[in-house]
Structure 1
Amino acid sequence: MSRPLFETNRQLGAWLEASDVTVVDPPSDLFGYDPGAMAPTGVDSHPLREVVDFIATHIASLPLKVYRRLSDGGRERVRDGELAALLADPTKNPAIPAYNFWLSLIMDGLLADRYLAVVVPDNAGGRRLKRIPPRRWNVTCDDYDEVTGVKIQIDGESHRLDIHDDEIILGVGYAYAGAKGSPKRSRLRDVLAEYEASVEYRRNVNKRGLQAPLIIERDRPWPDETSAQRFTQSMRAFVRGGASAGGGMVLEDGMKANQLVSFKPIDVADLDARDKVKVDVANAYGIPPELLGIREGNFSNLTAFKQMLYGTYLDPYICSFEQTLNRCLRDRICIYDKGLYIEFDREGQLRGDPIAQYQALSTATGRPFLTTNEARELLNKPNLPEGDGLVTPLNVLVGGQTSPQDGMTEDRGDPATTQGDET
Structure 2
Amino acid sequence: MGYLTNLRNALLGRAQASSTFDLTSMTPAQVGEFLRIGGSMETASGVSVNDTTAMRVAAAWRCVNIIAGTVGSLPLDLVMRVSENVRKPAVGHPLRTLLTVKPNPWQTPSEFRRMLQAHLMLRGNAYARKVRVGRDTVALIPVVPDRVQPCQLDNLSMEYRVTLRNGSQVRLPQTEMLHLRGMSLDGVTGLSTLSYMKESLGLALQGENSSANLMKNGQFVSGVFKHPEQLSKDVFDRLKASIEEYRNGGARAGGAMILEDKMDYAPVSMSAVDLQFLQMRDFQRYDIAMFFGVPPHMIGATDKATSWGSGIEQQGIGFVTYTLNDWLVTWQESLKRDTIPEAEWEKLDVRFYPQALLKGDSKAQWDAFVKGRQWGVYSANDVRALLDMNPRDDEAGNEYAVPPNQTQATAGDPAEPPVGDPINEPA
TM-score surpassing 0.5? yes
Q: Is the 8 A contact 2:129 2:143 kept in 1?
A: yes
Kindly provide the amino acid, as one letter, of the partner of residue 198 in structure 2: R
Highest Rg: 1 or 2?
A: 1
Q: Distance in 1 between matches of 2:156 and 2:398?
A: 58
The 1:199/1:168 distance shift into structure 2, 3 A limit, reads same
Which residue matches 2:108?
A: 97
Q: Distance in 2 between matches of 1:378 and 1:63?
A: 13
Which residue matches 1:53?
A: 65
Q: Is the 8 A contact 1:68 1:78 kept in 2?
A: yes
The 1:145/1:275 distance shift into structure 2, 3 A limit, reads farther
Percent sequence identity is 16
Q: Report whether the alignment pairs 1:341 with 2:349.
A: yes
Q: Is the 8 A contact 1:141 1:179 kept in 2?
A: yes
Aligned-pair distance for 1:259? 1.2
TM-score by length of 1: 0.71
Q: Distance in 2 between matches of 1:168 and 1:11?
A: 25
5+ long unaligned stretches in structure 1: 14-22, 404-423
3-state SS of the aligned residue for 2:49? Answer: coil
Which residue matches 1:211?
A: 221
Q: How does 1:136-285 map to 2 (within 5 A)?
A: 136-142=147-153, 147-164=158-175, 167-173=176-182, 176=185, 179-207=188-216, 208-217=218-227, 222=232, 225=233, 227-228=234-235, 230-231=237-238, 233-234=240-241, 237=244, 251=258, 253-261=260-268, 263=270, 268-285=275-292
The 1:3/1:149 distance shift into structure 2, 3 A limit, reads closer
Q: Distance in 2 between matches of 1:52 and 1:243?
A: 44
3-state SS of the aligned residue for 2:215? Answer: helix
Q: Distance in 2 between matches of 1:113 and 1:318?
A: 15
3-state SS of the aligned residue for 2:33? Answer: coil
5+ long unaligned stretches in structure 2: 13-26, 412-427
Aligned-pair distance for 1:232? 6.0
CA offset digits 1:144-190 (Å, max 9, x no partner): 997432332343422111114xx210133455579543212211222
1:29 to 21, 29, 33: 33
3-state SS of the aligned residue for 1:294? Answer: coil
Aligned-pair distance for 1:258? 2.1
Q: Report whether the alignment pairs 1:293 with 2:300.
A: yes
**More helix per residue: 1 or 2?**
2
1:87 to 87, 99, 109: 99
Q: Is the 8 A contact 1:33 1:135 kept in 2?
A: no
Q: Distance in 1 between matches of 2:400 and 2:88?
A: 26
CA offset digits 1:309-341 (Å, max 9, x no partner): 323332222212211111001137xx8453011
CA offset digits 1:327-379 (Å, max 9, x no partner): 001137xx84530111111232369713322332232129x8204x9659949
Q: Is the 8 A contact 2:41 2:198 kept in 1?
A: no
1:330 to 310, 327, 340: 340
- Stretch moving more, 295-304 or 83-92: 295-304
Q: Is the 8 A contact 1:209 1:265 kept in 2?
A: no
Q: Distance in 2 between matches of 1:300 and 1:116?
A: 39
Kindly provide the amino acid, as one letter, of the partner of residue 99 in structure 1: S
TM-score by length of 2: 0.70
Q: Is the 8 A contact 2:120 2:180 kept in 1?
A: yes
The 1:260/1:136 distance shift into structure 2, 3 A limit, reads same
Q: How does 1:373-384 map to 2 (within 5 A)?
A: 375=384, 378=387
Q: Distance in 2 between matches of 1:308 and 1:163?
A: 35
Kindly provide the amino acid, as one letter, of the partner of residue 204 in structure 2: Y
Which residue matches 1:129?
A: 140
Q: Is the 8 A contact 1:64 1:342 kept in 2?
A: yes
Q: Is the 8 A contact 2:336 2:345 kept in 1?
A: no
Count of residue correspondences: 378
CA offset digits 1:184-227 (Å, max 9, x no partner): 221122222222233333333333225341224378974xx5x2
- Stretch moving more, 188-197 or 252-261: 252-261
2:328 to 309, 314, 318: 318
Q: Is the 8 A contact 2:132 2:138 kept in 1?
A: yes
Q: Distance in 2 between matches of 1:392 and 1:130?
A: 45
The 1:138/1:240 distance shift into structure 2, 3 A limit, reads farther
Q: Is the 8 A contact 1:218 1:254 kept in 2?
A: no
Kindly provide the amino acid, as one letter, of the partner of residue 312 in structure 1: Y
Q: Distance in 2 between matches of 1:322 and 1:340?
A: 11
Q: Distance in 2 between matches of 1:35 and 1:219?
A: 53
Q: Distance in 1 between matches of 2:187 and 2:90?
A: 39
3-state SS of the aligned residue for 1:110? Answer: helix
Q: Distance in 1 between matches of 2:158 and 2:67?
A: 26
